Amino acid sequence: MSVIPPSSGRILLVDDEIAITTALQKLLATHGFVAEAFSNAKDALRRASEVDFDVIVTDISMPDMDGVQLLRRIREHDLDVPVILFTGAPTLESATEAVNYGALQYLLKPVPTKEFLDVIRRAVQLRRLAATKRAALNELGTNAGEGTRAALEAAFERALEKLWIAFQPIISAGSGRLFGYEALMRSGEPSLRQPEALLDAAERLGRLGDLSHRARRLALAALAEDQDWTLFLNLHPHDLSDDALLDDLLECPDRLGRLVLEVTERASLDSVPAARTKIASLRETGCRIAIDDLGAGYAGLSSFIQLEPDVVKIDMSLVHDADKSGVKRRLIRSLTEVCQDLGYCVLAEGVETTQERDLLLDVGCDLLQGYRFGRPDRRFVAPSW
Ligand code: G
Ligand code: MN
């Protein structure tokens, strides 16, 4: 066996059985590694925040914080360091968690010396590979935050705490005056600032309910203002299957006449059980229903049949440059006519230019929304016309 020079890797060992860490520490030292041993996870965690280890080896069952908890805490700030869990009492649960939180290996005690050393050497190499890869990604500016579940969970928690609502004005086409505001969720957490990223994280973590509930509470609080404008609130298809939606609405029953719930056309409602009944019970609270993003996805008519909307929002992909495209112009015109015949109020969103605005006025849309009138903002910005 070749002798590995010193500095071949810095290893953190954690086990409440000191005899084990002492033996491993000696073994590692004779093979050129620098190993530090701790008998509890808390002290080990503190040390790991001071020094960069190449590999962390931890027992699973320990008093206070166990090895899986330690792994989770480490992943909150270090996505790369290989963590090896070892245990005398393997369980499916701990093995599953080990995988979920990105453990490199799950070893059974007692670990044969050769196998242990092989695993450690491979882990040190992987650590170096990860560091090089991350440096390259940072250099290229493409570090898209690949990571583990715990890192995503930690970011999501921060995002929930820093959740805030932006309000974008909606204008009455007839008068050019303010009609209402659409509530748009935003977060102060840099990695999850935009709603798409936030919703994607919530979906992956099974936390859509928590995110919607929080955003809804913040947005509905705005209705408490003694004003007469209408609030537009986006629903996720998941919300329709969540009793918390109705509960939250019923906390402010006297304000629901000023609320419009937007349901996107992008996702089919066919996957929502009893969507029609649910929409009906929402409507019974006094709020109105809008179909969002019309023309952006999904071509069927089932969302109309299921929702019987009060308002239809024409997607910005149709509105953008509509004054320059005969096809878009004709589409908007016929959509508006058909919807108004059916008794729906037509809102055009994503209006950015005066030319687009004038075209939509000519077509006869009822409501207008877009940067031309006002951008989403923390404050209730007065629209320009
Ligand atoms: O899907 P929904 O209609 O809820 O999406 C609204 C999103 O569109 C918001 O995030 C908002 O910031 C953005 N938005 C609003 N007005 C405009 C606009 O005039 N142009 C563009 N490009 N985006 C807009
Ligand atoms: Mn919307």
154-171: per-residue pLDDT in tens? Answer: 899 999 999 999 999 999
Q: What gap in Å lies between CA 57 and CA 60, rounded to an integer?
A: 10
CA distances to 10, 34, 132 from 13, in Å? 10, 11, 24
Return residues with CB closer than 5 A to ligand 2 (ion).
234, 262, 292
Residue 235 pLDDT greater than 50, yes or no: yes
Residue 4 pLDDT greater than 80, yes or no: no
Mutate to test the pocket of ligand 1, among 184, 355, 369, 377 (most ligand atoms within 8 A of CB): 184
At 325-364, the pLDDT tens digits run 998 999 899 889 989 988 999 999 999 999 999 999 999 9
Task: Return the percentage of the chain with pLDDT > 90, whole number.
Answer: 63
Classify domain 149-369 at the CATH superfamily level: EAL domain (3.20.20.450)
Across 191-213, average pLDDT: 91
Q: What gap in Å lies between CA 34 and CA 78, rounded to an integer?
A: 20
Is residue 164 a contact partner of residue 218, using CB atoms and an 8 Å limit?
Answer: yes
Residue 143 pLDDT greater than 50, yes or no: no
pLDDT at 382: 95
Q: How far apart are the first and last CA of the chain?
A: 79
pLDDT at 6: 45
pLDDT at 302: 65
At 44-84, the pLDDT tens digits run 999 998 888 999 999 999 998 999 999 989 987 777 889 99
Is residue 232 a contact partner of residue 219, using CB atoms and an 8 Å limit?
Answer: no
Residue position matching structure tokens 């290229």: 140
**Max intra-chain CA distance, the chain:** 86
Ligand 1 atom 12: residue of nearest CA? 376
Amino acid occupying residue 374: G
Q: How confident is the model at residue 142 (pLDDT cuts 50, 70, 90)?
A: very low
Q: Is 194 in the pocket of ligand 1 (CB under 6 A)?
A: no
Ligand 1 atom 24: residue of nearest CA? 350
Closest by CA to 37, choosing from 51, 52, 18, is 18
Q: How far is the CA of 192 from the centre of ligand 1 (A)?
A: 17
Which has the minimum average pLDDT: 22-26, 274-278, 380-384? 274-278
pTM of the model: 0.69
pLDDT at 298: 57
Q: How many CB atoms lie within 10 A of CB 105?
A: 17
Residue position matching structure tokens 């914080």: 65
Q: How confident is the model at residue 276 (pLDDT cuts 50, 70, 90)?
A: confident
Residue 269 pLDDT greater than 50, yes or no: yes
Is residue 28 a contact partner of residue 61, using CB atoms and an 8 Å limit?
Answer: no
Residue 148 pLDDT greater than 80, yes or no: no
Domain locations in the chain as residue ranges: 6-140, 149-369
Ligand nearest to the CA of 167: 1
Is residue 264 a contact partner of residue 312, using CB atoms and an 8 Å limit?
Answer: no
Q: What gap in Å lies between CA 3 and CA 221, rounded to an integer?
A: 68
SS (H, E, C) the chain: CCCCCCCCCEEEEECCCHHHHHHHHHHHHHCCCEEEEECCHHHHHHHHHHCCCCEEEEECCCCCCCHHHHHHHHHHHCCCCCEEEEECCCCHHHHHHHHHCCCCEEEECCCCHHHHHHHHHHHHHHHHHHHHHHHHHHHHCCCCCCCCHHHHHHHHHHHHHCEEEEEEEEEECCCCCEEEEEEEEEECCHHHCCHHHHHHHHHHHCCHHHHHHHHHHHHHHHCCCCCCCEEEEEECHHHHHCHHHHHHHHCCHHHHHHEEEEEECCCCHHHCCCHHHHHHHHHHCCCEEEEEEECCCCCCCHHHHHHCCCEEEECHHHHCCHHHCHHHHHHHHHHHHHHHHCCCEEEECCCCCHHHHHHHHHHCCCEEECCCCCCCECCCCCCCC
Q: Are strands 163-172 and 367-369 parallel, antiparallel or unpaired?
A: antiparallel
Ligand nearest to the CA of 232: 2
Q: What gap in Å lies between CA 182 and CA 234, rounded to an integer?
A: 8
Closest by CA to 279, choosing from 261, 295, 294, is 261
Q: Could you confirm whether domain 6-140 is CATH 1.10.3720.10?
A: no
Amino acid occupying residue 211: L
pLDDT at 140: 56
Residue 1 pLDDT greater than 50, yes or no: no
Could you tell me the two tokens for 8?
């071949």
Beta bridge partners of 64: none
Residue 304 pLDDT greater than 60, yes or no: yes
Mutate to test the pocket of ligand 1, among 316, 357, 373 (most ligand atoms within 8 A of CB): 316
Q: Is 193 in the pocket of ligand 1 (CB under 6 A)?
A: no
Q: Are strands 105-108 and 163-172 parallel, antiparallel or unpaired?
A: unpaired
